[in-house]
Every structure is written in structure tokens, then in C-alpha cells.
Amino acid sequence: MGSVCAKKKETRINQVIQEPSASPYQPDHQDSQQQQDKKTQPQTLVKVKIPKKNKKVRETVKAVTLKNEEGQKMLNDYVFDEFLGQGAFGKVKLAHKKGQPNQRFAIKILKKSKLKRQREFVKDSNGNLVVKDALQDVRKEIAIMKKIRHNNLIQLYEVIDNPTSDKLFMVLEFAEGGQLIEWDDDEGKFYKLNEDEELTEDVLSSLFRDCIKGLAFLHKNKIVHRDLKPQNVLISGKTAKIADFGVSQVVGSKNDVLDNTQGTYYFMPPEACNKETAKDGYSGKAADIWALGITFFAFTYLSVPFTGNSIPDILKNISSNEVIFPQNFIISDGLKEFIHFILNKDPKKRPTIQEIAKHPWINQSSANLLDEMDQEDKVMEISQVDIDNAFSLVSLMKIKSWAQKWRTESNLKKAGPQTPVEEIEIK
């Protein structure tokens, strides 16, 4: 289980208004010419948008760390700019490509030794207890992110892993707008990071549509996120993107049952908070839908429907109490009914992501959301081999050492001449 993030001090300015766009699958009707014998019937031609081939995540095994002429720390051809955040096993820094200051990335820096020391007992596919360390979770996260390519999901661009080094680097998409709201643990509620920005229903509709499309893509590809919350929804331009796949899980096509709990307490579904209902497992997709509903509630009301003075109190309230909507917020009946529709406490009656996309409120001022989702029909498969090979292995580096050497030297040539300095440690 996790906990709600602590209050942040710095303020980010975000904008999430997204203009509705027509579906790229709009048909273009063109009458065919009739033959002289009039036997040929008119045909309707439909222009179909062909998705572009997805770029693969780059894998690099040599990490050159040094300083440039301005004294800035560098990793290969990335120049570090500023510190973004700290996690349990590493930190995140803002960086840009050398010579391209506008091409920015968020680089997650992890210590493999620290990850290996963090262990827990889990059940394998046969129900046996086995020991798992946090490095295996990172390997799974990388395997998942290497497969998913969607406009409403934060992307992984490169993994830099030198087997002789303790550092592992994940080069991620940087969402310059950051979070819209943050949790205040002292007050027990959310607050807007930009007080001047109004979260109108038009803004919320655009935000919610992006979240629905991102989660729909995950569920279609048999992935459950397991930690949906406002802090994991980031803004890039006018687009909302789901982030943080650290506890995400690949599930079966017909069986998405989970037998343990992950994520943040306030967003856990009722069926996972009750020992009697949780002992036989629960649906991972239905749990994601519940967390999505709580996330929408939080964006709308800047609070969560279930709180408590302790973790057991929170879980008991989620399991036993009904959702109560605050009276001091003026929202439309349509939005309130939309959130209530999602937050069905019975997981068997809880709507699927496709059913949510059909709701009248989410479609009242934009193109049909289900049609947009149907366009994104590419399905990815994530195997155990993908997880095992999520980042470089020593044996692989030995076999292809010449290729990796050529790749690294080529990268540095593109970056331009470097001032000869000794290698440094990226902290």
C-alpha cells in the first residue's frame, strides 16, 4: 500500500482546455462513375487514418557522465537542468538534449542496490509465496512502458543501464504543465496549484476524456494501472496524460483478478478494503474504474468522499459508507450523475471504461468519445520475456559490445565536441 503524497511548496501553472476535434475516421463519400451499361453500382469510399509506426524505446548500456563547458552535469547527450522530485528509490531531474534546450525530458535516476534490498513476499502464478525485490517491479514497469504508445499516457523514450554501474536511468516524457491539484495532508483535502485557473465543467470534461482514453488503452492491452489519482495525471500543452506505472500489472485477457492491494488508500475500491471480499481476489479493471471515479470526484470537489483518522478508519469508511457529494460546490446534475454512475460500490455492476465513454455528460459538447477510442485499436502483448529483458543484461552486453560501443560513440559525435574532463557521478 502507498500513502497520499505530501504537500508540495512550489506552484505550477497548468492549462488543460482542449478544443474538441473531429474524428479522423469521418467518411469522405465519393460517387463512382457509372459505366455505359449501367451495371456498376455507385461505391462509397472511406478514408481511414493509418496509425504511424511507433518508435521503439532506445536501450543504451554505456553511461558517460561528465560536465559540459558551462559546468552542467551531463549523461551521454543529455544536459541536466534542475531537480524535479524525490521518490522512495530515486529522484527525477529535468534535462534537455545537448544543443536543443527546447527538447526536454524527465530523467528518473534509480539505485539498483537500493531496489534489490527492498523485498517482500508475494504469491506466484501457482499460489506459492516467493520473494520479490523492487528491482523486479522496475523491470516490469519498463517492460510495460516499452509497449504502450498513446497520446494520453506518459512515454518512455530511453533506458540507460550500465551493468557495471549502480545507476539506472529512465528517460521519460516531460509534461511541462505538471499536476493540476495536490494533496494537503494537514488539511485533508486537495488544493489547486494555480489558484487563478478555474476548473470549469468544460475544463473537467476535456481532462476526464483524456483520462478515459488513456485508461481504455491500458485495459484494452490487458494492463491495470493500480494507482490512479490526481497526482498521476499530468498536463502537457492542452493534453492530460496518465503517469507512474510503478505498480501497474499485466493481467489475463479473461481473468484480471488481483490478490493484493497497491496504490493509495483513499482511492482503493470497497472490495479491496474488506477482508471477506478481498480474500478471493478482486477485479483489477473494476478497481481502476473506482479509482478513476474518485479521481474525477477529487478534481471536481477538491476532496475525497472517504476519509478517516487512521488507515483502518479510511478502509472501513470506503467499505461501509455511501458516497456523499459536497453541497458547497455548484455543479450540474449531469456531472454529479456521471461521477455517481462510475462510483458503484458493487464491482459487478460498476461500469466498464467503454460504458463510461457512452455517458451523455462526457459527450455533450464534444465528438463521440467511444468513436475516438475505437480508432486506437492496436493491441500490445507483454510477455514474461519482455519483463526479463526490460533492460540490459551483462551477457547481452558481452555479445553485442561492439554494437553498443558504436552506438555510444555515434551519440557523442552528434552531440558535438566535449570539453575533456574526468567522469563524474550523477547524484
Q: 258-295 pLDDT, tens per residue?
A: 877 887 899 999 999 987 777 788 899 999 999 999 99
Average pLDDT over residues 353-378: 86
More confident residue, 361 or 56: 361
**Mean pLDDT for the chain overall:** 79
* Residue 31 per-residue DSSP state: P
- Residues 367 and 382: their CA atoms lie apart, in Å, by 32
38 annotated ligand-binding residue: no
Helix 284-301 vs helix 201-220: angle between axes, to the nearest 10 degrees? 170
Band (16; pLDDT cuts 50, 70, 90)? very low
pLDDT for 122 beyond 90: no
Q: What is the pLDDT of residues 20-73, one digit of tens each?
A: 333 333 334 444 444 444 444 444 434 434 344 557 888 998 888 888 888 899
Does the active-site annotation cover 227? Answer: yes
Q: 76 in the Ramachandran plot: left (φ > 0), alpha (ψ -120 to 50) or beta?
A: left
Q: Is the dihedral of CA 290, 293, 298, 304 positive or negative?
A: negative
Band (2; pLDDT cuts 50, 70, 90)? very low
pLDDT for 353 beyond 90: yes
> What percentage of the chain has pLDDT greater than the value 90?
48
More confident residue, 2 or 245: 245
CB contact set of 55 (below 8 Å; sequence gap of 6+): 149
Which pLDDT does position 373 carry in this prediction? Answer: 85
More confident residue, 356 or 372: 356
- Residues 281 and 135: their CA atoms lie apart, in Å, by 25
Q: Domain boundaries in the chain?
A: 58-386
Average pLDDT over residues 174-188: 93
pLDDT for 372 beyond 50: yes
Strand partners, 111: 167
Per the structure block, which three cell numbers stand in for 80? 541536466
Nearest to 167 by CA among 402, 415, 391, 320: 391
CB contact at 8 A, 239 and 18: yes
Which pLDDT does position 419 carry in this prediction? Answer: 47
Per the structure block, which three cell numbers stand in for 348? 459487478
More confident residue, 148 or 49: 148
Which pLDDT does position 37 carry in this prediction? Answer: 46
pLDDT for 241 beyond 90: yes
pLDDT for 418 beyond 80: no
CB contact at 8 A, 172 and 153: no
Nearest to 291 by CA among 233, 376, 251, 335: 233
Burial class of residue 177 (count of CB atoms within 10 Å of its CB; 0-12, 13-18, 19+): buried
For 144-165, b/e burial (b = at least 16 CB within 10 A) is bbbbbbbebbbbbbbbbbbeeb
Q: What is the CB neighbour count within 10 angstroms for residue 42? A: 10
Which pLDDT does position 50 carry in this prediction? Answer: 38
pTM of the predicted model as reported, rounded to 2 decimal places: 0.75
Q: Which of 107-111, 133-137, 149-153, 339-343 bottoms out in mean pLDDT, i.e. has the lowest? A: 133-137
Which pLDDT does position 20 carry in this prediction? Answer: 37
More confident residue, 124 or 193: 193
Which of 12-21, 109-118, 377-386 is the most confident on average? 109-118
Q: Which listed residue (77, 227, 244, 288) is catalytic?
A: 227
- Residues 15 and 232: their CA atoms lie apart, in Å, by 16
* Residue 322 per-residue DSSP state: P
Helix 333-342 vs helix 284-301: angle between axes, to the nearest 10 degrees? 150
SS3 assignment for 32-67: CCCCCCCCCCCCCCCCCCCCCCCCCCEEECCCCEEE
How many residues are present in the chain? 427
- Looking at CATH, the fold of the domain delimited by 58-386 is given as Transferase(Phosphotransferase); domain 1 (1.10.510)
Q: 229 in the Ramachandran plot: left (φ > 0), alpha (ψ -120 to 50) or beta?
A: beta
The alpha carbon of 36 is separated from its chain's Cα centroid by a whole number of angstroms, namely 58
**Secondary structure E strands in 349-410:** none
Which pLDDT does position 385 carry in this prediction? Answer: 59
β-pairing verdict for 156-161 and 58-60:
parallel
Strand partners, 234: 241
CB contact set of 374 (below 8 Å; sequence gap of 6+): 25
